[in-house]
């Protein structure tokens, strides 16, 4: 089956592009991967969305965009793209469960996935005491002591979310300074349940009878190892772009972000565009994702009209 436009990725950027392209009559296909959209499903309350005085619920926003795109005529298929051929048009994609798909224009909006620490005990306890998503796992740490690892905006958001569930939250940061925005830091510092432990490098997850018992850290100032008790550990140390399937097909930077021409969503391959976090090393904000989704749709529409 050949499409005029295909969007890989069903997050804010992808659905924004879909709404624009569907309205322009390009009948886009949106390919939604098997795992949930990282940014918005882990950001429950978006309190800074301009124009929404009482904020807006992240998953609800995404769901509304999904429905809106479908109402305008976008088609959504679920499955992971595992192979691409971008050497000539129509571009060819292979998708689990759907086989080969061809398209004249392509938008990459696959976002990012949470990074892991890579320390002993982490991978085997994922979903069994270790999590990268508080809204997905908070229920299991009701009235328990938990640790959030990281000092960026993601870590602050995890801590805020967990206050409704856990009895105590310790934010463990490897350096002396938090990296999170001042606004979020101030919000978290007001929460009585949240404590901060700075200059602690995580070294090992301590297994428990059921799940985990805590975290071993190195105190960066004294060099001593310390044992921190916890029944849940939330790793929030940043994310990496979902571009494995594009390696050797599209220019990526050394961290795997798609390279676009400054001020546009154009990649090195005419007809292939990228938007959202997958091409944004610097800002990675909800509003930027939405804005770049709109740009990708306009760039792609213009390209289609000229071929």
Binding site for ligand NDP (CB under 6 A): 43, 117, 149-155, 157, 173-175, 179, 202, 237-239, 284-285
- Tell me, rounded to whole angstroms, the distance of Cα 29 from its chain centroid: 21
State in angstroms the smallest separation of the CB of 175 from ligand NDP.
3
Of the pair 149, 233, the CB lying nearest ligand NDP is at 149
Question: Quick one: which H or E segment has residue 184?
Answer: helix 182-189
Burial of 281 (0-12, 13-18, 19+ CB in 10 A): exposed
State in angstroms the smallest separation of the CB of 289 from ligand NDP.
10
Of the pair 129, 150, the CB lying nearest ligand NDP is at 150
State in angstroms the smallest separation of the CB of 237 from ligand NDP.
4
State in angstroms the smallest separation of the CB of 50 from ligand NDP.
13
Of the pair 20, 257, the CB lying nearest ligand NDP is at 257
State in angstroms the smallest separation of the CB of 238 from ligand NDP.
4
Question: Which phi and psi (to 5°) does residue 8 adopt?
Answer: -95, 115
Radius of gyration of the chain (CA): 21
The CA distances from residue 215 to 49, 225, 228, in Å, are: 36, 10, 5
Cα angle 252, 258, 261 (rounded to 5 degrees) comes to 105
Of the pair 236, 260, the CB lying nearest ligand NDP is at 236
State in angstroms the smallest separation of the CB of 58 from ligand NDP.
10
Of the pair 89, 174, the CB lying nearest ligand NDP is at 174
Of the pair 106, 178, the CB lying nearest ligand NDP is at 178
Closest CA to 112 of 152, 75, 74: 152
The side-by-side arrangement of strands in the sheet containing 145-149 is: 130-131, 232-235, 145-149, 168-172, 194-197
Question: What single DSSP character describes residue 126?
Answer: B
- Please answer whether residues 10 and 31 qualify as being in contact, where contact means their C-beta atoms are separated by less than 8 angstroms: yes
Of the pair 151, 232, the CB lying nearest ligand NDP is at 151
Residue sitting closest to ligand NDP (CB)? 152
State in angstroms the smallest separation of the CB of 140 from ligand NDP.
22
- Please answer whether residues 138 and 303 qualify as being in contact, where contact means their C-beta atoms are separated by less than 8 angstroms: no
N- to C-terminal Cα separation, the chain:
19
State in angstroms the smallest separation of the CB of 219 from ligand NDP.
14
d(CA 178, CA 197) in angstroms, rounded, equals: 11
Closest CA to 163 of 137, 129, 194, 195: 194
Of the pair 167, 219, the CB lying nearest ligand NDP is at 219
């Amino acid at each position: 089956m050949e499409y005029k436009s295909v969007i890989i990725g069903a997050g804010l950027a992808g659905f924004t592009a879909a709404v624009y392209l569907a309205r322009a009559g390009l009948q886009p296909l949106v390919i939604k991967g098997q795992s949930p959209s990282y940014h918005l499903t882990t950001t429950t309350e978006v309190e800074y969305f301009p124009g929404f005085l009482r904020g807006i619920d992240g998953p609800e926003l995404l769901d509304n965009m999904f429905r809106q795109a479908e109402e305008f005529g976008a088609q959504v298929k679920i499955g992971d793209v595992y192979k691409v051929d971008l050497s000539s048009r129509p571009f060819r994609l292979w998708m689990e469960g759907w086989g080969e798909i061809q398209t004249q224009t392509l938008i990459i909006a696959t976002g990012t996935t949470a990074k892991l620490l890579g320390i002993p005990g982490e991978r085997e306890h994922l979903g069994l005491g270790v999590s990268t998503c508080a809204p997905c796992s908070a229920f299991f740490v009701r009235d328990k002591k938990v640790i959030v690892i990281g000092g960026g905006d993601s870590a602050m958001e995890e801590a805020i979310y967990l206050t409704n569930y856990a009895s105590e939250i310790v934010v463990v940061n490897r350096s002396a300074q938090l990296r999170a925005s001042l606004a979020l830091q101030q919000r978290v510092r007001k929460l009585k349940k949240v404590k901060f432990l700075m200059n602690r490098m995580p070294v090992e997850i301590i297994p428990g009878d059921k799940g985990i018992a805590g975290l071993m850290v190195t105190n960066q100032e004294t060099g001593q190892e310390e044992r921190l008790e916890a029944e849940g550990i939330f790793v929030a140390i940043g994310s990496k772009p979902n571009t494995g399937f594009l390696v050797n097909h599209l220019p990526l930077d050394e961290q795997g972000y798609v390279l676009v021409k400054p001020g546009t969503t154009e990649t090195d391959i005419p007809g292939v565009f990228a938007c959202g976090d997958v091409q944004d090393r610097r800002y990675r904000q909800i509003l930027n994702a939405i804005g770049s989704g709109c740009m990708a749709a306009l760039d792609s529409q213009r390209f289609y009209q000229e071929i």
